Each structure stands twice: as C-alpha cells, then as structure tokens.
Amino acid sequence: MPAPVHGLEGKTALVTGAAQGLGRAIAERLAREGVRVAVNDLEASERTDEVIAATGGIEAIADVSNPEAVEAMVQAAERELGSIDILVANHAYMTMSPFVEHDPADWWRNVDVNLSGTHFLIRAALPGMRAGGGGRIVIIASEFGVVGWENATAYSASKAGLISLTKTLGRELGPEGILVNAIAPGIMDTPQLDVDAADAGVSPEEIRRRYASESPIGRIGRPEEIAATVAFLAGDGSGAFVGQILQPNGGTTRSLG
Amino acid sequence: MAIVTGAASGIGAVVGARLAERGWRVAGMDLRHSDSDLSLQVDVADRDAVRAAAERASTDLGPVSLLVTAAGVYEIVPVAEISAERWRRMLSVHLGGVANACWAVVPGMLASGAGTIVTISSELALAGGGPGDAHYAAAKGAILGFTRSLGGELAPTGVRVNGVAPGPTDTPLLDADSPWRDPDYLKTLPLGRMVRPEEVADTVLFLVEEGTYFAGQTISPNAGAVI
C-alpha cells in the first residue's frame, strides 16, 4: 500500500514544544511530508539541535508565554521560511497537585503556557497566514481537557480552554480558509508520564503499565500516532474539518470533546 | 479485502474508489450494481442476506479486514406523518445495516485478531436535524452510539471501530432542492459550502491507514456545521 500523502510538500510549519515527545514526532513527520519546519522549544539544547538536524528545520526558541518573545520568534521564522502555513501548538507545561495545595503562581504557569501561549502564537502567525490566503492550526489539547483528571486542575482547565478556543476560532477563522482543529490525545508514551509517575509515587514503568491496562485498546499511545493525526489535519484530505476535537485515546473516552 | 456498503453511489462509491486506488480489493454491497471488484446486490437491512453476501465476498476475494458502512437513505417527512413502516425502514437500513454488516464480518476479524470498521453516520446525529429529519437523525444517532459501544468492546481484540459523521455532503442522497443545498443555509457554515464526498473518503482512509489509536471515536468533517 502506498504511504499516505497529504499534499504538504513545500509547506512551512512551526511546531512548538518540539524538543521531545509529541512535538518531536510531529516535527519529524511533517518534515518527512516535505514540510520546512521551525522547531520551537523553551530553550536551545542538544535535543533541539537533534530535532533540527533530523528535520532539516530551523531553530525557533521562545518561551511561548512571553508575547514579545513569540512575536520575535515568528517574525524570525517567517524571514527564513516565509509565512507559516501550519501552526502546531504542542507546547505544554504540566504540574500536578491537589487543588487547594497547588501554589497559585505555578497553577497559573500551566494556564499561561498552555492557553495564553497558544493565543500569542496564533496572534503572531495569523497575519502571515492571512496574507497567504489560508492556513491550518492544529492545537494539541488533552484527554484531561475533555474528562478532567484528579490533581490536575490547572492543566485540565488550560486544556479545556484550548478546546473551547479551537471551537471558537474554528468558527471565527473558518470563513477565511484558516482551519483550526484540535487533537486531544489520551495517555501517550512521552517524558510527560514521568510527571504522572512522580505524582502517583510509582515508577515510570509502573505508571505505563497501569495506564495501558486502563485503556480499552490495552496500550498507551505512540507519539507517531499523534503525528499522523497532525499530518492529516494539516493536509489536503481534511479540508472539511473545522473546530473539531479529534481524540486518539485508545477508546478511553468516546464523547465528542 | 474491504467491504463497502452503499457502494453504488455517493460517499460509498467514492470510498470504494479511493480504497481501490490504495490497493484494496473491494466488495461493494448495495441494492444496485456497484463499480467494484465484486458487486453484491443486497439489502443491508436483511441480516441473512448480508451474511451470505459477506461469505461470498470472502470466498471470492479473501478474508474481510475492513468494513465501511456507507449505505443510507434520506427523506424529509414531518414527524406526525412518519408511519411505523417508514420509521422501521429508516432504522433497519441505518442501524440495522451497520449491525448486520458487523455481525457478518466481526467473527472473522476476531479470529484473525485484527480488523477495521468505519461507520458513516451524520452531523445530524450530533446536532439533530431540521424539520422532517426525526427518523433519519434518530437512525444516525443510533449508529453513533453503536460505534462508541462496539469500539470500546472490540478495542482489546485488535479490531478498531470508529465512525465518520459528515456534514451536508454533495451526493445524490440530497435532492437538487434539498434544504441542505440551499445557499442561504450554506452561508451559515464557517466554510460556506457543502462537504465533498472525497473529503469524507479521505477521512475514512485516515482512520483506516493511520488512525491506529482511535477506538470508538466518531470524527466529523462537516464544514463547521457542528462544532
């Protein structure tokens, strides 16, 4: 069977939080589809260098919760690549704590990075997308934003906010040919699981085993499966998707988000 | 080998053609002749006939590893005028058609430990329809519930069941004067246009080829009709 083709050759993308986990898989998948990728993360590191080398992309370092830094980053990426056709808002900050014990500053950090950061990114990339006559925005939300999660009020609220942002911007930007959709992954095999393991007081291996057993499909998800979903939402075949929340989660929740 | 119901026209025909392009052998089930590797003229509402047709398909083309259920009928009838017969027919074709096809192919998929099923429902299952859509929306809503439930039930077995709920799609199912083609209605959609059957087919292909962590989900290319 021929490899899936999404008509992405020659497009440009900015992928945030791309040093590891989902972001890295997304950047690498888009690069394989012929996309020129700007690789964002909070700071430059060996990991970002590896992703840039693997994708043939460019470096785009910024703290997405800083609007001035985001503006500067997007402008720099646009100077090198041209306007951004595909924005993948994948960055995330996650800390877990019982609600009343959660340090307020850290609580808000979840929201600042995940929700406000996405707003700043879209605002910065939008003029270029408009000038280019359209674009795709794929927001990586979370199953936590759909069903909630104990000890993750800040993260879950920020991700639910992203889902609502997706629906609203789907309506608002759809008429311009800028299609905004989200993916709410279930439990994925990423370094983020170490946070959950620490919260639960168990080993990373134990948390993976536990989550796999809780999923109807009997395993946790692979970053490549999210990357494939991004490629679909960025590509030719998904032109009628707008404001939708796709939930690759092995069947843990089957609502509409 | 794939079975596609409703393969003679509309979404089913385009799905069948796209699958063939991607290397699948396709058996089409439809009341009418379908342009597929094996055209099986059968009423999907007839459980025994569907089972016999599926057996014929696997005898001729090999084990069924993919089922796409696109068979459907559409009519606008004010609720007070929906006779019991019309009501049952609508449910038999949609919910019954999906269930009959699943009954026919799931045992083989379970035996092989793998398989993919994609049901086609409708955005009207998500948001309800307009006047005269009660029986259609109920039938499509039933497919949504069936898909979620079967998707959860079969996920541990390696058989993936998911659905696609298209928005108003430009197919012969909708008459030329259908309210879903009315420019004034389409203007209210964020994308301002109907969904193309190719977009539904590409969504099916995504779920089949790369949607490997989707289970019991229904995704909706609907031009913004339901957000």
CA separation (Å) from B38 to B27, B57, B62, B168, B211? 5, 7, 12, 29, 27
In this prediction, residue A256 carries a pLDDT of: 73
In this prediction, residue A4 carries a pLDDT of: 74
Interface with A, mutate which of B1, B210, B218, B220 (most A CBs under 10 A): B210
Residues of A in contact with B200 (CB under 8 A): 240
Q: What is the predicted ipTM?
A: 0.91
Q: Which token pair is A90? A: 């994948």
Q: Within a domain: residue B184? A: yes
Which residue has 């796999």 as its token pair? A212
In this prediction, residue B24 carries a pLDDT of: 98
Distance CA A120, CA B51 (A): 55
CA nearest B209: which of A140, A232, A27? A232
B213 noted as active-site residue: no
Q: Which domain holds residue B207?
A: 2-219
CATH of residue B177's domain is 3.40.50.720
Mean pLDDT of all residues in chain B? 97
Contact B213 A250 (CB under 8 A): yes
Q: Within a domain: residue B178? A: yes
Q: What is the mean pLDDT of each run of 10 residues along chain A (257 residues)?
A: 82 98 98 98 98 98 98 98 98 94 96 97 97 97 93 95 96 97 95 86 94 94 98 97 97 84
Contacts of A151 (CB under 8 A, 6+ apart): A96, A97, A98, A99, A199
In this prediction, residue B154 carries a pLDDT of: 97
> Is B32 exposed, middle or buried, given 0-12, 13-18 or 19+ CB atoms closer than 10 A?
exposed
Contact A237 B148 (CB under 8 A): no
Q: What's the pTM?
A: 0.94
Contacts of B3 (CB under 8 A, 6+ apart): B26, B27, B28, B29, B54, B57, B64, B66, B67, B68, B101, B105
Q: Is A222 part of the contact surface with chain B (CB cutoff 8 Å)?
A: yes
Q: Within a domain: residue B226? A: no
**pLDDT tens digits, A4-55:** 779 999 999 999 999 999 999 999 999 999 999 999 999 999 999 999 999 9
Distance CA B206, CA A37 (A): 23
What is the DSSP code string of A152-200?
-HHHHHHHHHHHHHHHHHHHHHGGGTEEEEEE---SBSSTTHHHHHHHH
Contact A171 B223 (CB under 8 A): no
In this prediction, residue A2 carries a pLDDT of: 66
Number of cross-chain residue pairs from A and B with Cβ atoms under 8 Å apart: 133
Q: Within a domain: residue B225? A: no
In this prediction, residue B118 carries a pLDDT of: 98
Q: Within a domain: residue B227? A: no
Contacts of A63 (CB under 8 A, 6+ apart): A42, A69, A113
**pLDDT tens digits, B172-199:** 999 999 999 999 999 999 999 999 999 9
In this prediction, residue A5 carries a pLDDT of: 76
Residues of B in contact with A143 (CB under 8 A): none
Pairing of strands A86-89, A12-15: parallel
In this prediction, residue A1 carries a pLDDT of: 61
Q: Within a domain: residue B113? A: yes
Number of domains into which chain B is organized = 1
Q: Which token pair is B99? A: 């269930």
Residues of A in contact with B160 (CB under 8 A): 217
**pLDDT tens digits, B4-47:** 999 999 999 999 999 999 999 999 999 999 999 999 999 999 99
Map out the domains of chain A with their CATH numbers.
12-186+222-246 (3.40.50.720), 189-220 (no CATH)
In this prediction, residue A199 carries a pLDDT of: 82
